[in-house]
Structure 1
């Protein structure tokens, strides 16, 4: 049996977690919607960092889409736009 979509996304996130953790942050999967939008919660310093939107788009979304091309979009549910 192959890895589920969530498992594959977790693997992709594991690849970038060390970088997020180095800055005191992390990400947690909230859900993958029916239309294949990955919803994440940014935790630690990531949730309030002014660069978090850029980190999400450039780092997290790119890593996830490269590993799991089915994912259409990545959204953070708790990003505060500075």
Structure 2
């Protein structure tokens, strides 16, 4: 799979920015780490999100859904340390 990483990065950061106010309100945040050649977005959870029991739900139900809406070529979103 050949991905235009610059264009994808812009789209994914827009999705992150849409969710960011909700994360910051709870004392957390996340940042884009990488987009793999396989189409997996890697994010780092920050602040309260890094050890929150709901963080996987936030990634799967929130961020992954938002990312796939703007970049359907993305297969998944995963958290990395």
Shorter-chain TM band? 0.7 to 0.9
Following TM superposition, where does structure 1 have runs of at least 4 consecutive aligned residues deviating by more than 2 angstroms? none
In the alignment, structure 1 segments of 5+ residues that lack a partner are none
Deviation at 1:6, TM superposition (A): 0.3
Q: Return the structure number with greater helix share.
A: 2
Could you list the per-position Cα deviations for residues 24-61 of structure 1 after superposition, in whole angstroms to 9, with x for gaps in the alignment? 11111110000110000000100000111111111111
Q: CA RMSD in A?
A: 1.1
Give TM-score scaled by structure 1 length.
Answer: 0.87
Q: Offset at 1:12?
A: 1.1
Confirm whether residue 50 of structure 1 aligns to residue 53 of structure 2.
Answer: yes
Indicate the residue corresponding to 1:67 in structure 2: 70
Q: Secondary structure at the match of 2:44?
A: strand
Aligned ranges for residues 1-82 of structure 1 at < 5 Å?
4-78=7-81
In structure 1, the residue corresponding to 2:13 is in which secondary structure?
A: helix
Q: CA deviation at 1:17?
A: 0.7
